[in-house]
Structure 1
Amino acid sequence: MPQPATTATPLAPQAAPKRRDPEGRRRTILSAAAELIVESGAAALTHRAVAARAQVPLGSTTQYFGSIDELREAALQQLSDEIDEELANLEPFLSEFVNDPDRAVAQFLEYLHDTRVLQADIALMTTGVTDPRLRPLALRWFDRLTDMLAQHIGRERAAAIAVYLDGATMHAGLHEQPLEHHEITRALRALATMPVDAGPPPSASTTQTTADPPQERS
């Protein structure tokens, strides 16, 4: 008696192997490190904490970054790049800074109200104080702002304003509230128009006297 033909059950399609994305994983690790620096400071960064935040195996962090110092530096570089973008938003208002600083102050206050950017800036400053290798990253905002303002008000006034704004940034972080618009505007107007000394007075050794020479006794 012939057996009924059996129909072969089709095999279920196998899932395609997950495509590796090394660069994507590196970005994830870097972003996690940057967030941890913003929250807890650069000194608190560890491979374990970063792996947990990025939800990746612990070995991944050392695979892409040979040391915690390398990872910290890369994360701070990313934060510095973000702060540069905020500074670029301020640049269009600097040409009218002396006569009308209000728009520049409004833009700066928007920056200070962005908690993440504010804390990133403070993290860069504090790291630059304790780690000379990373100091150029911490000074990049100050140097760029000074260069941009110097075109309009001279370098001495520009540096004074950059110092003041660094202080206003730290003040906002410590008080969890920035200074008022009118307070910053008044200070910046004064600094932008302050008298600028032509230079230090000559030293005593180079000062030429015009006194008459002593008379010879007869």
Structure 2
Amino acid sequence: MATTHRPKDPQRREKIIAATLDVIAEHGIAGTTHRRIAAAAEVPLGSMTYYFSGMEELLTEAFMLMATTVSRRYMEIMDAATTREEAREAVVEVITGDIWETPRTLTLSYELYAFSIKNERVREVIRHWMSQSRVAIGRHFDPMTTYALDAAVEGLTIHRSFQPEITRETVREIVDRLTREDEPPARL
């Protein structure tokens, strides 16, 4: 497929980053190449080295975009809760709703975690992402419950991808059990 040269494309860098996520979702990190990304972004191959120093930088930027996008949606769901019961239901929605339900998002998250093993900058992206998750949850629950719920979000999304018998009702019961004894966080 021939690519079209667009001399004045101010969004080219962002298009490349977004296309990188598409390529990772389809081919995994091992199958992600500059050529595939350029084709998916419909940019000249030379754009890859113009905008990025190498594949590691590009993968890191792509995972940062993914983490920011997912984190934003996570925060929206948690911030919409105004009562403790709504906060519990928001956690259930984060686990079972549209954030993680797509094979693409799950694939990207698995690739992200695997890539972070050997990449400190990506580990920092994950730490920031987890921190943001805890901030969103912590608005509604005490610190220990917040950590437990954050771990439950991560773990249950993985388990649900392999065990479809873990239903929304099962997740709701787990969240209820984790939050039964917590104390409301102090308001500043």
Normalising by structure 1, we get a TM-score of: 0.69
Aligned to 1:82: 69
Q: Which amino acid aligns with 1:50?
A: I
Task: Note the 1:150-189 alignment, pairs <5 A.
Answer: 150-175=138-163, 177=164, 179-189=166-176
Point out the structure with max Rg over C-alpha.
1
| Among 26, 35, 45, the residue aligned to 2:13 | 26
Q: Deviations over 1:148-168 (max 9, x none)?
A: 322332111110111111011
| Matched-pair contact (CA < 8 Å) for 1:73–1:134 | yes
Backbone CA RMSD of aligned residues = 2.7
Which stretches in structure 2 are left out of the alignment for 5+ residues? Answer: 184-188
Q: Which whole-Å CA distance do the structure 2 matches of 1:31 and 1:100 have between them?
A: 31
Q: CA deviation at 1:139?
A: 2.7
Aligned length: 178
CA distance in structure 1 between the partners assigned to 2:95 and 2:154 by the alignment? 11
Does 2:145 align with 1:134? no
- Distance in 2 separating the partners of 1:57 and 1:74: 19
- SS of the residue 2:140 aligns to: helix
Compared CA separation, residues 56 and 153, structure 1 to 2 (3 A): closer
Alignment partners' CA distance in 1, 2:102 and 2:50: 33
Report percent identity of matched pairs: 22
Question: Using a 3 Å threshold, how does the CA distance of structure 1 residues 40 and 191 change in structure 2: closer, same or farther?
Answer: farther
The Cα shift of 1:38 comes to 2.5
Q: Which has the higher contact order (CA 8 A, sep 6+)?
A: 2
Secondary structure at the counterpart of residue 179 of structure 1: coil
Equivalence map 1:1-218=2 (5 Å): 20-97=7-84, 101-110=88-97, 111-175=99-163, 177=164, 179-194=166-181
TM-score (norm: length of structure 2):
0.78
Deviation, 1:193, is 2.6
Give 3-state SS (helix, strand or coil) of 1:81's partner.
helix
Task: Deviation per CA, 1:152-193: give whole Å up to 9, x if none.
Answer: 321111101111110112223345x48311111111111113
How far 1:48 moved relative to its partner?
A: 1.9
**Distance in 1 separating the partners of 2:12 and 2:126:** 27
Q: Would the aligned equivalents of 1:45 and 1:72 in 2 still touch at CA under 8 Å?
A: no
